[in-house]
Structure 1
Amino acid sequence: MVLDGASPYHVDRALVDFGFAMGPYAVSDLAGLDIGYMTRQRKAADRHPRDRVPVFADRLYEQGHLGRKTGRGYYIYGDPAPQEDPELGPLLDRVRADLGITPRRFTDDEIVARTMAAMVNEAARVVGDGTALRPLDVDVVMLNGYGFPRWRGGPMHWADRQGLQAILDDIRRFAAEDDHFWQPADLLRDLVASGRGFADLNEGTKP
């Protein structure tokens, strides 16, 4: 979304308003932008040609803006609270121009919808391939380890309440722009086809 025109600050605000403890770019600053950079470098040789790379994050790393540890990343850190970096907008403009991207606007609702669709879809893959035993286990990890809003019950519980058909419809709609990234998980498709939800997979399953 940031490559396509969203501000990292808008993404963070929308997801904090949704209930997350922190937005993803504030979290990146906390972890250190060098962590993401090194991971991307390590995986670069196996990257699919259609994978979209957050070039702007690499530019920040190259400038030595590593987040809280250097006092500057996506945000500028000082007293009394982190501030938005006025130089980030022009940097994003240059990156988009280099990539031939015409930026567009995103609403809060679209930011949340895309974030949650991606999260639920990946979680469905994790359950489908047996990495996680049950959808419930994904929810517990997200609630206790990743600051997911507790009153929403975890991404799988949230998805059931939204309706899996609606999530699948969102993914298919987003795939019209990028059918490489937005590929519905087999488990999600199967549950929709059979009229079941993630909660049905929790029943009778022993940890």
Structure 2
Amino acid sequence: MNSRFCLILLLVYYWGLISKAAALESDYFPVLAMEYPPFTTEEHPEGGVLMAELAAKTASYKLLPKPLFMPLLRLQRTLQEGNWCTSFAPPLNEQDYPSVSTSLEQLSFHLYRVQQKAPFQWQELKELKGREVALIRSMEGTRTTQGLLQAGITPIYVNSLAQALKMVTKMRVDYALADKHSYQYYQQQGLLDGRVLEASQQSIFHFESRLWLNPECRYSGQIQAIFSFPAP
């Protein structure tokens, strides 16, 4: 793991030590999220490394996140209806909403396949024509999937990244679209049946990790102010 990700894990540990004391006198703001370990997950007592990082950032201001995990369709409907405060999932027309960055900044997504001797690379994506790639359902209709389709690659939509990676280990699809942190997490959790996957040398797309804010939420301005303060 790189140093930035290790720092986030340290924040998780730190937040576990202070959370009980801080919770006694803090106010809470709701945070929408979908299951995406290790970043946002109900499997972690603090809601994942991004939730823990957020809590460590706001705790000294007596403000704590309250994770609200939802399936993708319900989360998207909640964002569209406007009944939300903050979200790790981008709202429609995300450019119209304020947001703050996380320490992860940007995630790079690659194709993952069962490890082979030949290097996993290409000159043009269309060289993979006729292959199938498993990816999470929230990617449906995006520019990324349009690019895959134009290259002759068939997207297979699944409900979780774990399911996508498992389909590769069981040889049900050729590739899975994933980031290295999530792949390492599932590998360490023993969820890939001991199979080693390899990432393509080229990335497929990049995603900037941010927390989006609803201006109508009474905590929005306070959170923006907290993130504007220099780190101690």
TM-score norm. by structure 1 comes to 0.27
TM-score norm. by structure 2 comes to 0.25
Q: Which has the higher helix share?
A: 1
Higher RCO, 1 vs 2 (CA within 8 Å, ≥6 residues apart): 2
Q: Which has the higher strand share?
A: 2
